[in-house]
Structures are given as C-alpha cells and as structure tokens.
C-alpha cells in the first residue's frame, strides 16, 4: 500500500480527499464533495497533510487529532482589469465556514482513532495577499488588514460550529473534559453552545505553503534574499531596506491584532533573515510581545524546506 501511486494529477488528489471525507454527509455527500473539490482546486482551502497522504487510500486507522485546514489568503485577492485589487471578504468568510464543516466531516470519518479536542482552521499567504494588494508588510494598512481578517475568520468559524451543533450536537470531548478549555484565554463559546471547543489556530506550515504553489507561511513576511515583496511582486523598491528588528516587531504587531480573535495562542517561532540576532532585537521583541499579551517569542532563521507530506 505504501508504495502505490494513488493520484496521477492534483485534481485526482482533491477528488480522493473530498470523496473520502464527504461520505459522512449521507444523501448530500455528492453536493459537499463537489463544494470541497472546488475550494481545493482554487487553492482557497488546503486540507490537512494527513488527509492528503492517506484519505481514500484504503487506510482506515488515521489518527486525526486536531485536524487542520488552511485558508490561503492570496487566493482571495481579486484583480479587476479596470480597478484596484481588493480582498474578497465575503468569499473568505464562506470558505472559513466550509473549512469547519470539512474538518468536522473528516473527524467523523476517522473518529475511531481521534479525540475531538479541537479543529484548527488557520491561514497562510498573509504576505502574499498584502503584496497582491500593493501593500507593504511593514505598514499601518497591513495592521488594519490583520485585524479585519482575524475578526472575519473568527465570526465565520464560530457561526459554522454553532450551525453544526444544531445539526449534529456537541462533539465528544477528550476524557475528563467537561467544559471548553482551549489554550489561553481566547475561547469565546462554551462547548454546550458550539460543536467544537476550538475552531481557529494559526501554525507555521512550511511544507503546506510549498505545496500550495509556494505560498508564504502563516502570518510571516516573504523571506529570501530581501525582506520585502519587491522582487517577487514587482513593487517599487524601498529607498531604505527594512532591517531584521523592524520585521520581527511587525510580525509581533500583526500577531497581536490576530490573537484576540484566535482560539489558540499564536506561538510558533518568529522568522528572521540574516546570520544572527542582536540581543537588543530579542529584548525589544520580548517587550512588545508582552504588551500584546503574546507568548514569549521564539525565533527561527528563514530557510527553504523540502516538500514532503510524510
């Protein structure tokens, strides 16, 4: 089984995953399968890597604790020919709600091996979306964008979880858990009200980003030989290049604007480019993270990852 080739095209992968998960929809399975496939084909929703690898292959004992789906923000930027690009918040909200249902279906499909502690709808491509909108990562407009995205994501996911609760009841909780206990203090709805104790979580997912046509990771800036998006998106070059400290502090500001709307702490490492971090930059990041009620920052040097869903 492990050596078999399951898909000849990416569309076959989408169909395989969607078909395997939508089966729990009974008479409506065909309708939801098609909706999932269309969302995957446009790279608006990217499924959990475990589902990409195993769903629909005959493997039935998949452990799918805290299943993930990632919304690719760059796919929601509309570029009209006669006006300025804009972000399609309505479509983004619809896809966030659909991602919650997809993950609920996935958990139901493999619940025999999985505990329903949470589902994790997250985002990637934040910097890609900014670049497509002609906006610098280090700007007030980027901060406004982060706040609006967080609010929209939270509302759509919570509403979808409430609808699923009415349709399917509350999920089975992990042993010994009798109330909503999401990490941190960001959970807004008790388990008796919504189906899942947590619906949103933002993690670094390098490999999923590479798989999705090299989308920028989570809320990070585009990294490489230059910090800003100029070379990738053909924007005007900056007169003064951004330094590592500026980019790290902006990452914290953006996370701080997302965090009140996200159920789990955003605590994956901040990314930096260069040989080393100065102690002053680390101290500044620690102070700002505390002001935004974020976990103490950790750091990782930007580097290219090798694509593998293993």
CA distance 73 to 194: 26
Whether pLDDT at 310 is above 90: no
Whether pLDDT at 242 is above 80: no
> Contacts from 284-288 at CB under 8 Å and sequence distance 24+?
284/245, 284/248, 284/249, 285/248, 285/249, 285/252, 288/249, 288/252, 288/253, 288/256
Torsion, Cα of 76, 81, 86, 90 (10° steps):
-50
Predicted local distance difference test score (pLDDT) of residue 115: 67
Whether pLDDT at 71 is above 90: yes
Whether pLDDT at 22 is above 70: yes
Q: What pLDDT band is residue 260 in, cutting at 50, 70 and 90?
A: very high
Q: What is the pLDDT of residues 197-231, one digit of tens each?
A: 889 999 999 899 999 999 999 999 986 533 444 43
CA distance 99 to 294: 26
CA distance 18 to 101: 12
Q: What is the pLDDT of residues 127-139, one digit of tens each?
A: 999 999 999 999 9
Whether pLDDT at 278 is above 50: yes
DSSP β-bridge partners for residue 122: 70
This prediction has a pTM of: 0.86
Sequence-separated (6 or more) residues with CB below 8 Å from residue 225: 231
């Amino acid at each position: 089984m492990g050596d078999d080739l399951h898909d000849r095209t990416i569309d076959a992968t989408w169909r395989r995953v969607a078909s395997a998960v939508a089966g729990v929809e009974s008479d409506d399975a065909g309708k939801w399968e098609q909706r999932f496939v269309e969302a995957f084909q446009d790279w608006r929703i990217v499924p959990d890597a475990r589902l990409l690898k195993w769903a629909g292959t005959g493997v039935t004992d998949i452990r799918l604790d805290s299943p993930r789906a990632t919304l690719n923000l760059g796919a929601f930027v509309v570029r009209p020919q006669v006006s300025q690009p804009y972000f399609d918040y309505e479509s983004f909200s619809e896809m966030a709600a659909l991602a919650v249902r997809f993950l609920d279906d996935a958990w139901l499909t493999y619940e025999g091996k999985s505990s329903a502690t949470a589902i994790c709808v997250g985002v990637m491509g934040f910097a890609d979306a900014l670049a497509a909108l002609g906006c610098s990562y280090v700007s007030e407009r980027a901060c406004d964008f982060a706040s609006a995205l967080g609010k929209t994501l939270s509302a759509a996911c919570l509403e979808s979880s409430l609808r699923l609760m009415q349709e399917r009841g509350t999920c089975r909780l992990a042993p010994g858990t009798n109330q909503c206990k999401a990490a941190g203090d960001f959970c807004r709805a008790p388990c008796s009200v919504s189906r899942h104790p947590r619906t949103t979580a933002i993690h670094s997912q390098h490999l999923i980003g590479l798989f999705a046509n090299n989308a920028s990771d989570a809320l990070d800036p585009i990294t490489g030989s230059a910090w800003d998006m100029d070379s990738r998106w053909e924007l005007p070059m900056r007169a003064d290049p951004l330094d590592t400290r500026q980019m790290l502090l902006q990452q914290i500001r953006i996370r701080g604007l997302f965090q009140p709307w996200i159920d789990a702490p955003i605590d994956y490492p901040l990314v930096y480019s260069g040989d080393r971090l100065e102690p002053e930059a680390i101290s500044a990041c620690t102070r700002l993270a505390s002001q935004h009620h974020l976990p103490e920052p950790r750091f990782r040097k930007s580097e290219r990852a090798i694509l593998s869903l293993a």
